[in-house]
Amino acid sequence: MLDPRGISMLVKTTAASLGFDACGIAKARHLSEDEKRLEDWLHKGMNGKMHYMENYFDLRVDPTKLLPGARSVITLLFNYFPEVKQENQAQKISKYAYGADYHDVIRKKLNSFLAQLKAKVGDFAGRGFVDSAPVLERAWALQSGLGWVGKNGNLLTKTQGSFFFIATLVTDLDITADAPYALDLCGTCTKCIDACPTQAILPEKIINGSKCISYFTIELKDALIPGEMKDKFDHWMFGCDTCQDVCPWNRFSRPHNHAELAPIAAILQLDEKGWDELTEEQFKIIFKDSPIKRSKFSGIKRNLQFLKDESAD
């Protein structure tokens, strides 16, 4: 029978063997400070039309309501920084969407993670999440010692920047926890705030989600993008990396070596004419395993038309 420290070591070696780039552990508890911040953020309407963020509020701030008897929260980081960048800068795509849908990639790894742990420590209750459930991933990453939350709202690490997917595993195992990350290494830097094309990044690490380019190009399902956003998209067609691209800590970003995230050729190669002539049938074939399919063909065409109208002025 492994003790809590032994389980901690097993958790981290297993995570590394599955290709995760970092692993941290926190004690499951009610996130009272984050609860207040989230409540205020929602009351101010900064979620825009992302009404799903108002659902399951109590589950978001208390892992014991996601998993009765929860004792530990494991946070895993998975690097997605690409070695090769998109050539076409007229219709830019966020780097996280270059390859296969990370939900599918990481969900498989979480299932393997759980199976391997159970084989070595015996049966236990555990639930894995990757950007698909009411979990405050960045708060748990901070609590587990993996990094700090930057002014742009992203988790930042001292050695590799912020281009990571975050996965969370809530379990009833008693595991020795890591110390929370105690430093805020953003200092007086405001590069992300200054560079945001839509001024979505506010002081005190508050992000107005209803003004973020990623919100308009992915989450917003309206037929048209609001006219007041015209000339502010800086050619972003799906998502936006501006605040990460200008962050000084991302000079330490290193290309990932995850074959599952190999870029889809069309994303790197399609030019303005290629996107314009893309048919719905081609879209479904090319992006069937891509997160870009979230916007659907109609959403991508809407985004492309918005950028075309901008450039026509």
Catalytic residue of the set 34, 101, 123, 131: 131
- Cα(289)–Cα(101) distance, integer angstroms: 6
Over residues 7-43, the pLDDT tens digits come to: 999 999 999 999 999 999 999 999 999 999 999 999 9
Say if residues 140 and 26 touch (Cβ distance below 8 Å).
yes
Over residues 264-304, the pLDDT tens digits come to: 999 999 999 999 999 999 999 999 999 999 999 999 999 99
Q: What is the pTM of this model?
A: 0.95
Query: If 0-12 CB within 10 Å is exposed, 13-18 middle and 19+ buried, where does residue 251 land?
Result: exposed
Rounded to 10 deg, the angle between the 102-121 and 4-17 helix axes is 140
Q: Is 131 in the active site?
A: yes
Q: Tell me which residue of 79, 283, 36 sits closest to 166, measured CA to CA.
A: 79
Over residues 50-75, the pLDDT tens digits come to: 988 888 888 889 999 999 999 999 99
